[in-house]
Chains A and B, each alone.
Chain A
Amino acid sequence: MSNDPLLNVKNLKVTFNTPKGEVNAVRGVSFSLGRERLGIVGESGSGKSQTGRAILGLTAANGRITADELKFHDVDLANLTPKQWRKVRGARISMIMQDPKYSLNPVMTIGDQIIEAYREHHKVNAREARHRAIDMLEAVKIRDPERVFNSYPHEVSGGMGQRVMIAMMLIPEPELIIADEPTSALDVTVQLQVMAILDDLVRDRGMALIFISHDLHLVSSFCDRVLVMYQGHVVEELAASALHEAKHPYTKGLLNCLPKMDGDQSDLPILEREASWAEG
């Protein structure tokens, strides 16, 4: 693992103008990322997804991004023209979305959608692109890639759809993958399978990964480092192997909320929140 940072984020803020006034979704998040796998954990509304979207410049139109620094290598992500963005998105940074049922175009074949992602960034002919796409479908362990290539998204299962999503986002060989709750919409039985496929590919190709999830244990088993977010702040940063050393009461609370297999535990503890956590 090299140490020169891929991504530098300093004091990132995302604010939305809503009819009910300003909403601060992200309020000053800082981290730097090398070629490693970083987990961002938090409950709904903690700002973890908005952090991921801000890195790709895909904050909704009523949102505003400010940061002291938002740099990918030497590219300043805070000041890109739409044309420059298109050279970054897909080609260098990509994102795996949550639910393949909504995140794949229902009226385009899976093959066309994968080829489109590849040909946007690589000048190859249709035959070569098709070849690459089929290889990629094989790489995400789809058994009958030719058939899936010609299928429409509604014709495959959720787990299969998410593998297609992984294939589509990895095929242009980006350096950084942001996975935003990539398994939350899937059946528990296929969650680990899909995660393992993603993990393998990311390792093989030496990509960096930002894994956004609400599942602290899932994150810790697939990441090197974990950021815990609460109401738009990072409240704690931990090595994934050192979860038990968590100091912040919110992290501890999250860990305690999990039911244990052994021992009698009639009540699950409730997280007692304190207003001071939100101040960061």
Chain B
Amino acid sequence: MSAVTRKNRDGRKRARLISGKAGSLLRIVFSLAITFFGLLLVTFLIGRVLPIDPVLAAVGDRAPQDVYDRVREEMGLNLPLWQQFFIYISNVVQGDFGQSVLTANPVIEDIKRVFPATLELATLATFIGVVLGIPAGVFAAINKGKWPDHVVRVIGLAGYSMPIFWLGLMGLLVFYMKLDWVAGPGRLDAFYIDFIEPTTGLMLIDTLIEGDMDLFWNAVSHIILPASILAYFSLAYIARMTRSFMLEQLSQEYILTARVKGISEHRIIWRHALGNVMVPLVTVIALSYANLLEGSVLTEIIFAWPGLGLYITNSLLNADMNAVLGGTVVVGAVFIGVNMLSDVLYRLLDPRARR
């Protein structure tokens, strides 16, 4: 083959690669926009259909009729539904979810305050779940039917079936009250709370930014118990899925090829098989992460954790519709974001998915 044709072909390949990347980026943005639009439409309609009168929630049920009418007009509720939706969308796009009746803050400010708490908890929990769950699943798979497999399965089953509020209370009783290994509810000891400037809202990072190691370790001892309890659930799920994906991969033909080559069993499992297991596992991990990001109400209540789950639940119980819709949109956006992230990772891990 001459050098000229080879060069030509390389050039063509490069051109196709670029257009492919730009094209797929465009496709992703487009599908994101559609999904987000659908999310807004559904949350908006739910907000309008629910038998809750936002005017009443704002003015109270003893307000005279003319006040009621004026507030209703101010809220734009006299306009046709499509117009309301249009206004709603243009507000949301500018980051305006309206006022919260309950806290009297803009909803977006509230969410900026509560979401990092949930994000921090969920991320740490998922991290623990992945770091322990994957090896546990692999360990169970390579010892299928023997005692390590049974141990992992029993632990996993327990993680599935124990109610989280019970586990949380028991955790507090044992590790906080009796053993005093960890700190109690909240994100920091009450004494420290005003010491910290919320730069990112993530306590572990903010304390590091300020360089105060006492505060940092205090934050760690507060988050470790709720994070471990949430992690236990995602660990159980991740380990179970890892086990079954691993068993499937270990029976594949390419594993036999690797054995024929004389490669160590260690490398066969952790490089060859796990490389293929990670492809579907990424989706599993992303879904469990997204679930945690929604905020786990029970955990947040037990550990007095000022997170998103607690915020949305409180708002709902007080008919604070702006806050509920705002929270729901954020949760939906997080789901969309995490899904996109898992798509990107999927492509990185599986060359067959790169187009």
A binds B: yes
Q: Contact residues of A with B, CB < 8 Å? A: 56, 58, 82, 85-91, 94-95, 97, 99, 102-108, 116-117, 120-121, 143-144, 152, 154-155, 165, 168-169, 172
Find out whether the CB atom of B253 lies under 8 angstroms from the CB atom of A116.
no
Find out whether the CB atom of A87 lies under 8 angstroms from the CB atom of B262.
yes
* B272 at the A interface (CB under 8 A): yes
A104's partner among B257, B259, B350 (CB-CB below 8 A) is: B257
Find out whether the CB atom of B275 lies under 8 angstroms from the CB atom of A105.
yes
Given the known A-B contacts A105-B272, A107-B276, A143-B1, are A89 and B261 also in contact in the complex, defined by CB atoms under 8 Å?
yes
Find out whether the CB atom of B260 lies under 8 angstroms from the CB atom of A95.
yes
A172 to chain B, nearest CB (A): 8
Among A82, A87, A99, A108, find the residue whose CB has the most chain B CB atoms closer than 10 A.
Answer: A108
Residue numbers in B under 8 Å from A104 (CB-CB): 254, 257
Residue of A nearest to B354 (CB): A152
Find out whether the CB atom of A106 lies under 8 angstroms from the CB atom of B262.
no
> Chain B 233-259, CB within 8 Å of chain A: the 1/0 string?
000000000000000000011101111
Q: Contact residues of B with A, CB < 8 Å? A: 1, 6, 252-254, 256-265, 272, 275-276, 279, 349-352
Q: Do most interface residues of chain B lie in helix, strand or loop, or is the interface mixed?
A: helix
B308 to chain A, nearest CB (A): 36
In the assembled complex, the Cα of A56 lies from the Cα of B257 at a distance in Å of 11
Residue of A nearest to B350 (CB): A107
- A selection of 14 A-B contacts at a CB cut-off of 8 Å is A58-B256, A58-B259, A88-B262, A89-B259, A102-B254, A103-B253, A103-B257, A105-B276, A106-B350, A107-B349, A108-B275, A120-B262, A154-B351, A172-B262
Find out whether the CB atom of B252 lies under 8 angstroms from the CB atom of A90.
no
Residue numbers in B under 8 Å from A107 (CB-CB): 275-276, 279, 349-351
Find out whether the CB atom of A94 lies under 8 angstroms from the CB atom of B260.
yes
Residue numbers in B under 8 Å from A82 (CB-CB): 265
Residue numbers in B under 8 Å from A154 (CB-CB): 351-352
Find out whether the CB atom of A97 lies under 8 angstroms from the CB atom of B256.
yes
Residue numbers in A under 8 Å from B352 (CB-CB): 106, 152, 154
